[in-house]
Amino acid sequence: MIPKVYISGKLYEKADAKISVFDHGLLYGDGVFEGIRSYGGRVFRLEAHVERLFDSAKAIGLQIPMSREEMARAVIETLAANKLADAYIRLMVTRGAGSLGLDPRRTTDPQVIIITDQISLYPEELYDHGLKIITAGTTRNHPNALNPKIKSLNYLNNILAKIEGTEVGCLEALMLNHKGEVAECTGDNIFLIRHGVLKTPPGDAGILEGITRGAVIELARQVGYTVYECTLDRYDVYTADECFLTGTAAELIPVVECDGRVLGSGRPGPITRELRQRFQALVREDRSR
């Protein structure tokens, strides 16, 4: 089946899915996006993703040309048109076509784009044996320069850190903020476990507060684990008993080494494994509704 891409109210075959080369989303990364998952044809926490998309757009002064309800319906219909049950959904809104200058007032027709596809971010064996990561020299954008709550199309900061990781054979890299504190990885949030207590960087550390991150915090607290959102540094990472990452595409994946230091036993720990199982049960439950 030829994939179909939604662009501003119409479905196009993949080869015909095009926008203007003068779109400010292409020229300047001027737009917002969400990465979403579906399980069994049911979109996981769609309302939360749509709300964050609209919040990001409002923060950059971008008027989305449809309502939240219409956006959610477009996501579901695009998924159905592609006959995908377990899928990754990329939802984007660009500023629209304009001049070669920066002035957003010269743009017209913001473009809503929805792509659905299958995704496997990490090889399956890494979920069983764990990731190795490094700390990137590229720091997270200063929050006064670009608020991390805005999920914008400009991901160059993350890409540069990602390159640092892949050049030394690591599929993910840890990013510190301007104060040298642990922020997040290039595409995932990070959790540390020490003496049975979970810790993860707070919003003011310069992180995107992920939807999956929030779901895992809820799950952990429901079964009695203490979870702190608190300032962390690399010492906390190196001395953690367990470490794992969360993200829409990654879901929940263990980390067993950082900067050459073996974390904990060097294998995915019991709390990480339990929370991964509980997260998988959560999405299965959501799929059955």
| pLDDT value of position 109 | 94
Residue 286: what pLDDT? 63
Please write the tens of the pLDDT for every residue from 250-276.
Answer: 999 999 999 999 999 999 999 999 999
In this prediction, residue 72 carries a pLDDT of 97
Question: Is 83 a catalytic site residue?
Answer: no
Domain ranges of the chain: 4-117, 124-288
Out of 4, 151, 162, 199, the active site residue is 151
Q: What is the pLDDT of residues 198-248, one digit of tens each?
A: 999 999 999 999 999 999 999 999 999 999 999 999 999 999 999 999 999
3-state helix, strand, coil in the chain (%, to 5): 35, 30, 40
Q: Give the whole-angstrom CA distance, residue 141 versus residue 146.
A: 6
Q: For the whole prediction, is pTM greater than 0.75?
A: yes
* Spatial separation of the C-alpha atoms in residues 176 and 139, rounded to whole Å: 5
- Topology of domain 4-117 in CATH is D-amino Acid Aminotransferase; Chain A, domain 1 (3.30.470)
Tokens 């989305």 label which residue?
64
- Cα distance between residue 67 and residue 54, in whole Å: 9
Task: Dump pLDDT digits (tens) for 2-40.
Answer: 889 999 999 999 999 999 999 999 999 999 999 999 999
Contact 107, 96 (CB under 8 A): yes
160-200 tens-digit pLDDT: 999 999 999 999 999 999 999 999 999 999 999 999 999 99
Q: Which two tokens stand for residue 289?
A: 């509704």
Instruction: Tell me the CATH class for 124-288.
Output: alpha beta
CA gap 18, 285 in Å, rounded:
37
Q: What pLDDT score does 2 carry? A: 80
User: How high is the pLDDT of residue 119?
Assistant: 81
